[in-house]
Amino acid sequence: MVKGKKTAPKKKPLILVSNDDGISFYGIRLLVDIMKELGEVVVVAPSGPQSGMGHAITIGNTLRLEETNIFKGVKAFECSGTPADCVKLAKDFVLKGRKPDLVVSGINHGSNSSISVLYSGTMSAAMEAAIEGMPSIGFSLCDYSPNAEMEHGRKFIKQIAKQVLEKGMPKGIALNVNIPAKSKGKIKGIKVCRQARARWQEKFEERRDPRGRRYFWMDGNFVSLDNGHDTDEWALDNNYISVVPCSFDMTAHETLAELNASFSKMKKA
């Protein structure tokens, strides 16, 4: 360094924040607060709840985008669309060509482990970012209580986000991070896991509205089909934070050779 010459201040990383519970939900408020410690934050989140929307996008209706001052000192927008819509609008309109160094989604109110990743709006925002080549993380808390405590996950959320900012991540990968409920006691640490084989076993309750018209209410139970000790479900059951690297490529690569051979025979018949 030349004596007397000043170096330019290091540029803060740009962090885009979204969620699926809506822009006014307290989970995103905590996430924004944590991310402010790591960089410049911009928020684009749904104007209302979008849980269970999966990777839906709005193609048959208009999209609304309004700037809001809900987060002090943070540029924020509420969007009438889905979590995936929010990331698309952020990239193509709000950020005006600036590419985020990190996209984070959450903190979701409820687990997004195992098969729930397919239904999750939280993870779909993260996956949309991964599709666009941006490092991304979805954060969820495994507690459905109306008054769920999230603060106990603060230091771990910051550590994971900081790690990704500093070390980067392979293109097309989003991290699915699930945090045990505070009621389970002190978190033991972080486990990088695979997604457990599990599913929701739904049941539909038939009901009648005040006018006598029939409708259905879906309920169900979570059924684990996996006894492995290297899964997200095992980690959460044993009070570890689970981290699962996820890809949008849903090809069953292990079956390609077998299916190719099978279909090749069909062509010759």
Give the integer Cα–Cα distance in Å for 244 and 33: 24
- Report yes or no: 81 and 69 within 8 Å, Cβ to Cβ: no
> Quick one: tokens of 88?
């698309």
Give the integer Cα–Cα distance in Å for 22 and 176: 19
What's the sign of the alpha-carbon dihedral 29, 30, 31, 33? positive
- Residue 10 is given by DSSP the state P
51 annotated to a ligand binding site: yes
Please report, for residues 161, 182, 248, 256, 258, the alpha-carbon distance to residue 252 in angstroms, rounded to integers and kept in the order given: 30, 37, 12, 7, 11
Burial 111-141 (b: 16+ CB within 10 A, else e): bbbbbbbebbbbbbbbbbbbbbebbbbbbbb
Give the integer Cα–Cα distance in Å for 245 and 121: 17
21 annotated to a ligand binding site: yes
Structural Rg of the chain based on CA atoms: 21
Give the integer Cα–Cα distance in Å for 116 and 85: 20
Burial 63-76 (b: 16+ CB within 10 A, else e): bebeeeebbeebeb
**Residues at the annotated binding site for a divalent metal cation?**
20-21, 51, 108
- Binding site feature residues: 20-21, 51, 108
